[in-house]
Amino acid sequence: MSLDEHRASTRDKIIRMANQIATFFHSKPREEGIAGTAEHINKFWEPRMRRHLFEIIDAGGDGLDELVLAASSTIRRPADAAA
């Protein structure tokens, strides 16, 4: 697998997982869904996963559920890997 294929695979997995969380929280009132999505990602995703998520968000968020995008302002952004 090439590096580009690996990055695409990782991107697809992050999108799928984030959207699965959002799908669950769509059954809640909107503000609760936003808070729940952010809380779940903050509690259970390691910094590397959140870093990948923010790379997707910073590139426009294509493929991400709107609830994930709405929650992104309260998801903890990890420090850069080089820091």
Mean pLDDT across 4-30: 92
Position 83 confidence tier, pLDDT thresholds 50, 70, 90: very low
Tokens 């808070």 identify what position?
Answer: 35
pTM across the whole model:
0.88
**Mean pLDDT computed over 4-31:** 92
pLDDT exceeds 90 at position 81? no
Domain boundaries, the chain: 3-74
Other Cβ atoms closer than 10 A to 52: 19
Model confidence pLDDT, tens digit, residues 46-72: 999 999 999 999 999 999 999 999 999
